[in-house]
A and B are shown apart, each in its own frame.
Chain A
Amino acid sequence: MRSHRFYTPWLLMLPALVWLALFSVWPAINTVTLSFTNVHQLTGGHFIGLKNYWLLWHDPHIRDAVINTIVFMAICVPLLTFLPLLLALLVQRNVRGIAFFRTAFYFPVIASAVTVALIWKWMLDDRGLFNNLLQTMGIVHKTVPFLTDRWLLLLSAIALTVWKGLGYYMILYMSALGSVRRELHEAAAVDGAGTVRRFWSVTVPGVRGTMILISVLIAVYAMRVFGELYILGGATGGVGGQDVSIVMLVQQAASGSDGRLGYASAISVFLFFLTAVPLLFLNRLNKNSQEES
């Protein structure tokens, strides 16, 4: 017996379908199309073939952005893969007040990247908290230019990203830890494995799928980073404009009434191919591994 009229699914899905078409499918196609034109905001443009990509290839800002992205990934991925796992283990046990801690750890995640960046910008200022602490403790003697040195600024943005992400990935791990069977731990304990050893031989393999997923998510996030650098470094990318991310370049190119939508789209397409790499990697790993993430 039919459970529904033939048109019911389509009717119920209509809103979502409209959104899918208008705001997911069409923009994806249009971005590619735009990338081959020199359309400017408020006016038109025409087809110019691969010129935008040629410009992209020679754009020194893109080079800076890619380097920044690589550094971002290199540091964020290991940190945000392991630290949240430790955090999840920390809050796993049902000690008194754990709900309070758990909620508090999640606070940085809820705050907007902009708010968080403003707070950190204040702390990283030449006369701010970090410099004061470091100087009071005698670790450094001159102010550390967290926000004006090209590399320190990048590292600051990375620190901020890691800090903000801890809670989020902790939650993911909490879900995954649920499936690590207790018996394995017990067996290992009986075999004489200590805490640390059990961590490496039971816990980590048990959440392997999640770990891989998380690494990929972080890598993708690093490529898409925007708010942190925008606020810490200023809209133009720090002194000399070298602390830019790829998304910042998209936003800069498209902004203002002379926005170069065609070029911005080309950068977007470039970004897509970059992010596809870790995602394809994940897909392959998922196919190979038996565990579900």
Chain B
Amino acid sequence: MRRTTAVSAIAVAATLLAGCGVGSKSSSADANKTVATTAALSGSITFQTWSLKNDKFTPYFTKLIADFKAAHPGTDINWIDQPGDGYPTKVSSQVSTNSLPDVINLPPDIAHAVAKTGNLLDLKQNDPGLQTDYVKSGLSAYNYQDISSGSQFFGFPWYLGTDVSYWNKTMMAKDGLDATKPPKTFDDLVAQAKTMHDNSGGKDYLMSRAPGLSDIANTGTKLLSDDGTKFAFNTAPAEAMLDKYTAAYKAGYLPSNVLDNSYEGNSTLFSKQQVAWTTGGGNLITSLQQDNPTLAPNVVPSPALDTAPLYVQGLSVASKSKNLPLALAFAEYVTNNENQVAFIKLAPGFLPGSAASASDPQYSKSDGTTQGDASVIAYKDMQTAVNFTPPIWTDAMNTILNQEIAKAMTGKETSKQALDNTVNQANALLTQ
């Protein structure tokens, strides 16, 4: 997966935060509504997805909506899809102009920001089966400590993803490494990177990205302070990790452009065969087969290093919707087990958010193809995957982190200074 951080505009949080002068007042009243589900459904709602209107998924959604309308005559679903870029901004402007779609596809960070303004319906109150019908790890992504002390849930988990490691076995064999015994931890990775570097005369690279928040979390450091209100990840283990990256960078185990703005992401470098390792979603091989068919057969998947990150997508219901019964019913329909299983068939390597099939043995059996193997690895990773990014982490903070890491890795600062600076500036941004 492209090494962009999972952050979107959690900025929406700071912005949509009310209570300070002009701006929408956060009203938990809306979120706390209980929806009447007895009457027959009627009327129309808007259903918004994020970057899912394409050749692969459009037939699925069209059929989904048609089936629903057949089962509930007199209802209408208006499906809109937003392009991949600029989604956080789009959603914030929908919130501020009171035009948030009734059922809306949101990742946890944007959902957090929108929920803080009271614009998302509490699903726990309205769906008694919530905690049994959906996977715990998915649900917890939509449960926030800073909103009603975590007693509310704001999204139906829809599909879960994680990072799988992919290796270029031809490149590795060329430099004396065995792709069937890939690194399992970060230290392994550095060691094998050294081998590759030495044997290829510095031309081939195993490591392909600079560290980020998930690497810090993987050192066992807690990102937030104990009360969850401030950042506190400038710890000794984190510094040690950054030192290792600095040493690796100096020794030439990383391509020199991972730090500057011509860096295209580790998966692009991987497709160009400049590096022999990348992380990606469970379906990378399928997309490689399309874009780079000569590379695909050389790719070997393996579990992600250390602990895998968890990426969750969900469906939320707008609390200010004018047709709450229909919105809620439709959201539950889209995320019911049957429909989620059908969806995942189109997106191999992901897992459904519904509890019933998440542990279905079919996902733990490979069909023998490399993509099948990757899907199984993704499935196994997801059992223990963790969502690393705290909801209060914003884009601006991530930029600061990247800048400080770049300074440390190029020797302009010590690791300690870099992490201290990041924590201080991020905390300052929290209060601004």
Classify A-B as touching or not with yes or no (CB < 8 A).
Answer: yes
Residues on A lying within 8 angstroms of B by beta carbon are 37-46, 55, 60, 125, 147-148, 233-242, 252, 256-260, 263
Query: Top 3 A-B pairs ranked by shortest CB distance?
Result: A258-B11, A44-B22, A234-B261
Mask: chain B, 13-29; 1 = CB below 8 Å from A; 0 = not: 11111101111100000
List the B side residues contacting A148 at CB < 8 Å: 256-257, 259-260
On whether the beta carbons of B395 and A256 are closer than 8 Å, the reply is yes
Known pairs A42-B93, A44-B23, A46-B21; A257 contacts B259 (CB<8 A): no
Contacts of A37 in B (CB 8 A): 21
Per DSSP, chain B at the interface is helix
Contact partner of A259 among B15, B93, B257, CB < 8 A?
A: B15
Once the chains bind, are A45 and B20 in contact (CB under 8 Å)? yes
B88 at the A interface (CB under 8 A): yes
Q: How far is the CA of A39 from the CA of B20 in the complex (A)?
A: 9
Q: Which residues of the other chain, A, contact B432 by a CB distance below 8 angstroms?
A: 38, 55, 260, 263
Q: In the complex, which residue of chain B has the Cβ closest to the Cβ of A145?
A: B256
Q: A41 vs B93: C-alpha distance in the bound complex, in angstroms?
A: 10
A107 smallest CB distance to B (angstroms): 27
Beta-carbon contact of B16 and A240 below 8 Å: no
**Contact, CB under 8 Å: A42 / B261:** no
Q: Which of chain B's residues have a CB closer than 8 A to the CB of A46?
A: 20-21
Asked if A45 and B22 make an inter-chain contact with CB atoms under 8 angstroms apart, the answer reads: yes
CB closest residue in chain B, given A260:
B432
Chain B residues within an 8 Å CB radius of A60: 421
Interchain CB contact under 8 A, A240 and B406: yes
Please, how many angstroms separate the alpha-carbon atoms of A233 and B92 in the complex? 29
A235 contacts B261, C-beta separation under 8 Å: yes
Nearest B-chain residue to A235, judged by Cβ: B261
At the interface, yes or no: B80 with Cβ under 8 Å from chain A? no
Interchain CB contact under 8 A, A258 and B260: no
B421 closest partner in A (C-beta): A60
Q: B407 on the interface (CB 8 Å rule)? A: yes
B240 close to A (CB within 8 Å): no
* A contact residues around B403 at 8 Å (CB): 236-237, 240-241
B12 on the A face (CB < 8 A): yes
Tell me whether B89 is interfacial, beta carbon within 8 Å.
Answer: yes
Interface centre among B11, B262, B402 (most CB of A within 10 A): B11
Any chain A CB within 8 A of the CB of B236?
Answer: no
Contacting pair B11 A257 (CB below 8 A): yes
* Interface hub of A125, A147, A242, A258 (most chain B Cβ within 10 A): A258
Would you call A236 and B399 a contact (CB within 8 A)? Answer: yes
B410 touches A43 (CB 8 A): no
Name the B residues within 8 Å of A44 (CB-CB).
20-23
Is B395 touching A43 in the complex (CB atoms < 8 A)? no
Q: List 21 A-B contacts (CB under 8 A).
A: A42-B23, A43-B16, A43-B22, A43-B24, A45-B21, A55-B428, A148-B260, A234-B260, A236-B261, A239-B259, A239-B260, A240-B410, A241-B400, A241-B406, A256-B396, A257-B92, A257-B93, A258-B12, A258-B14, A258-B394, A260-B432
- Asked if residues B10 and A258 are in contact (CB atoms below 8 Å), the reply is yes
Query: Across the interface, do B15 and A40 meet the contact criterion of CB distance under 8 Å?
Result: yes
Quick check: is B96 within 8 A (CB to CB) of the other chain?
Answer: yes
A43 near B15: Cβ-Cβ < 8 Å:
yes
Cβ–Cβ contact B410 & A239, under 8 A: yes
Instruction: Give which listed residue, B16, B260, B395, B421, contacts A42 with CB less than 8 A.
Output: B16
- The complex places the Cα of A154 from the Cα of B172 at a distance, in Å, of 39
Name the interface residues of B332-381: CB closer than 8 Å to any CB of A: none
Q: Which residues of A contact B400 (CB under 8 A)?
A: 241
Could you give, for residues 73-112 of chain B, a 1 whenever the CB lies within 8 Å of some chain A CB and a 0 otherwise? 0000000000000001100110110000000000000000
Residues of chain A within 8 A (CB-CB) of B394 are 256, 258
Closest Cβ neighbor of A244 among chain B residues? B403
Q: B395's closest neighbor in chain A, by CB?
A: A256
Docked-complex contact A38 and B20, CB < 8 angstroms:
yes
For the complex, what is the distance from the CA of A39 to the CA of B17, rounded to whole Å? 11
> CB-CB < 8 A to B10: which residues of A?
258
- Most chain A CB within a 10 A radius of its CB, from B12, B20, B262: B20
The one of A55, A240, A256, A258 in contact with B412, judged by C-beta atoms closer than 8 angstroms, is: A240
* 247-264 of chain B: CB within 8 A of chain A: 256-257, 259-262
